[in-house]
Amino acid sequence: MQRKNKTLGEFIIENQQEFQYSTGELSKLINAIRLAAKVVNHEVNKAGLVDILGAAGETNIQGESQQKLDVLANEKFKQTLQNREIVCGIASEEEDDFITINSQDEQHQNKYVVLIDPLDGSSNIDVNVSVGTIFSIYRRVTPIGSPVSLEDFLQPGVNQVAAGYIIYGTSTMLVYTTGHGVNGFTLNPAIGTFYLSHPNMQFPETGRIYSVNEGNYTHFPQGVKDYIKYCQKEEDDRPYTSRYIGSLVSDFHRNMIKGGIYIYPKSSTAFNGKLRLLYECNPMAYLAEQAGGRASDGYRRILEITPTELHQRVPFFCGSRKMVEKAESFMAQYA
C-alpha cells in the first residue's frame, strides 16, 4: 500500500523497476510533463486576470477555433519537452504535423515520442469550468539514430508505455499509468509539489452516471438512442443520472471515482465521432483498462485499432466495465 504523503518524484524513483526499459529516461519524461503542468496550471488559474481568455483568431488542423490558452498550453508543453532533450518527436492536437526533435549531437538518440492534447475542454475556460491536458507516450519503432517518422506515431494504443492526464479544477491533479495501475497526485500550490493522493485508482464495476451530449440525440445511431432510453428507464437501480461537462478529462475523472460511462458516438453530423484516437481515446482507454474499466468504439477495443492518420477520429465508449458492455450490447443489435 502506497503511503499518501509521498511526492510524485519519490513515487517515480521507487517504481522505476516496474518499467521494462528502466534507464531513467521515462522518469525524466514524466518529470518534464509534471513541470509543464505546473506552468500551465499557473496560467489557467490567472485566466480571468490577464488577456488569455477567448479565441486566438486561428483554427487548428481539425478546423476548430483555437482558444488563447490552447496556444499557450501547446507552446509550454513543446518548450519543456524540447528543452529537456528526452524525446525524439512530439505530435500535438494543435499542430498540423508531428515535430522532429534532434538531440544535442543531432544523432537522434532519444527513444520516446509524446502525443498530447495540451488543453482538453478549453472552451470551458471562459466560464471557469475544469479543463485538462492528456498525454500518451510510446517507444519509437524506427531505428535509433534516424530521424523520427510518421510510423513512430501511428502505433496502436496497446503499444503505449505510459499515459495520463492533468486536470485543472478545484485542485490540480496529475493521474498517470505506466502499465502497473493508475495513481493520482494532487498539487500543493503553496510549495509546488505533487503528492500521492489517490493510490491505485479503480473504476467501480458499474455506476449510475452516463455522460453524453444529449443535445445531439437525434443524430445518434439507434444503438446509442436505445442505451440512453435504457439509462432513463425507471427500473432496478435506474434511472441513471446524466452528467456531461464537455471536457473529456473532467467527465472521465468523475466517472473513474464515482462509476459511470462516457460516450461520444459517431452521428449523422460527425460520421467518425469527434474525439481523436491518438490524443484522447488511446491514452484514456489505457488508463481505463489499467483501472479495471473498459473502452471501445462501440464494437472494437480502442487499444487494438491501428491508426492510419495523426488526427484520426473514432467513436468512444469508456468507463465502468459493466456499463460499457451494456452499451455495446445495444450497439451490437444494429451492427
Q: Going by DSSP bridges, is the β-strand pair 241-242/209-211 parallel, antiparallel, or unpaired? A: parallel
Cα 179 to Cα 200: distance, rounded to the nearest angstrom:
12
- Helix axes of 25-45 and 68-84: crossing angle, nearest 10 degrees: 150
Cα 281 to Cα 248: distance, rounded to the nearest angstrom:
10
Residues 6 or more apart whose Cβ sits within 8 Å of residue 162: 26, 29, 30, 136, 137, 176, 177, 178, 179
Find out whether 151 is annotated in a ligand binding site. Answer: no
Find out whether 244 is annotated in a ligand binding site. Answer: yes
Q: Going by DSSP bridges, is the β-strand pair 99-100/241-242 parallel, antiparallel, or unpaired? A: unpaired
Residue 149 neighbours by CB distance under 10 Å? 16
Start-to-end CA span in the chain (Å):
44
Find out whether 93 is annotated in a ligand binding site. Answer: yes
Q: Going by DSSP bridges, is the β-strand pair 209-211/261-264 parallel, antiparallel, or unpaired? A: parallel
Find out whether 274 is annotated in a ligand binding site. Answer: yes
Burial class of residue 146 (count of CB atoms within 10 Å of its CB; 0-12, 13-18, 19+): exposed
Find out whether 214 is annotated in a ligand binding site. Answer: no
Helix/strand/coil for 274: coil
Q: Are 198 and 175 in contact (CB under 8 A)?
A: yes
Residue 113 neighbours by CB distance under 10 Å? 26
Residue 197 neighbours by CB distance under 10 Å? 17
User: Angle at Cα 32 formed by Cα 153 and Cα 20, nearest 5°?
Assistant: 60
Find out whether 280 is annotated in a ligand binding site. Answer: yes
Least Cα distance to 101 among 113, 117, 115 occurs for: 113
Find out whether 53 is annotated in a ligand binding site. Answer: no
**Considering Cα of 37, then 2, then 294, then 260, what sign does the dihedral take?**
negative
Instruction: Detail the residues annotated as belonging to a binding site for substrate.
Output: 120-123, 213, 244, 274
Instruction: Detail the residues annotated as belonging to a binding site for Mg(2+).
Output: 93, 117, 119-120, 280
Instruction: Detail the residues annotated as belonging to a binding site.
Output: 93, 117, 119-123, 213, 244, 274, 280
